[in-house]
Amino acid sequence: MSELQREFRDALGSFATGVTIATTLAADGEPVGVTASSFNSVSLDPPLVLWSLAKNSLSREAFSASGHFAVHVLAASQRALSDRFARSGANKFDGVDWLRGALGAPVFPEFAARFECRTRHEYEGGDHIILVGEVVEFEARPVAPLLFLAGRYARHQPDSEPAGDEAEETMDILNEALSLERALETVVEGKLGEAELAEARRLMQRIVELARGASS
Ligand SMILES: Cc1cc2nc3c(=O)[nH]c(=O)nc-3n(C[C@H](O)[C@H](O)[C@H](O)COP(=O)(O)O)c2cc1C
């Protein structure tokens, strides 16, 4: 691989994706599958998806000939399965639970989402072929998906809601401290001398500064 190709691949790697395993049945009835992150949605009506397969993949002929495929969007817990199906030619299905799906492609019982497709188009795409499938069955489950970014598996970090809650809490403290300052002023006014009042103000000011510091 040339330096330019490496840079190109690395640049593409900054596009975070999920991880799928695409499966089909070979002409001899053997199950076939590959790990693929090139999966994407194409159309809602009709429901179409696509993914691309390296031309030098051992599974290429089976995917081109079968006329159907299933795509399993993997759950975060399925990293080992992803690794297994990323090894070219190995006995990928040994010891793996699978059934024949609606169109005949092998389907796994576990997934974050599963799409069973009839192959509608096969396009030429340089050193890959692009397979477009019409979805005839699908199912999704509320589990964390496996992610892939910059050539590595990645973990999904939920957006910063807790931080938002924390900021809100700090603002509450700040507002309380300010009202306390005002209340204290009314209580001590007239009862304390100028010096004591100034000291009380200074202390309350300090509390406010501390609360501000905690919120930044
Ligand atoms: C996270 C990940 C994503 C991959 N995505 C693709 C892909 O989209 N298309 C592809 O052809 N290969 C992809 N691969 C590589 C194939 O999974 C690998 O070449 C596979 O073993 C080919 O198997 P085969 O030669 O037995 O058909 C990916 C590998 C990994 C680990």
19 and 100 part of one domain: yes
Structure confidence at residue 11 as a pLDDT band (50, 70, 90): very high
- Residue with more model confidence, 26 or 160: 26
Residue 156: per-residue pLDDT? 82
pLDDT, position 129: 98
| Mean of pLDDT values over 47-56 | 98
Give the range of the structural domain holding residue 112, as residue numbers without chain letter: 3-154
pLDDT confidence of residue 189? 60
> Which pTM does this prediction carry?
0.78
The answer on 149 and 166 residing in a single domain is: no
Which pLDDT does position 183 carry in this prediction? 60
Q: Which of 154, 185, 203 is the last residue of a domain?
A: 154
105 and 59 share one domain = yes
Q: What is the CATH number of the domain that holds 8?
A: 2.30.110.10
Residue of 129, 138, 152, 121 whose CA lies nearest to 59 = 129
Query: How many domains does the chain contain in total?
Result: 2
pLDDT tens, residue by residue, 64-117 = 999 999 999 999 999 999 999 999 987 999 999 999 999 999 999 999 999 999
Q: 154, 187, 207 — which closes off a domain?
A: 154
| 113/188 same-domain check | no
Q: pLDDT tens, 157-215? A: 877 655 566 656 655 565 566 555 656 665 666 666 667 667 767 777 776 777 666 55
Residues 166 and 90 in one domain: no
Domain boundary among 107, 135, 154: 154
Residues 50, 148 within the same domain: yes
- CA triple 107-51-17, angle to 5 deg: 90
**The ligand 1 atom nearest the CA atom of 148:** 1
Q: In this structure, are 115 and 138 located in the same domain? A: yes
In ligand 1, the atom with minimum distance to the C-alpha of 128 is 11
Residue to substitute in 30, 34, 38 for testing ligand 1 pocket (most ligand atoms within 8 angstroms of CB): 34
Residues 142 and 126 in one domain: yes
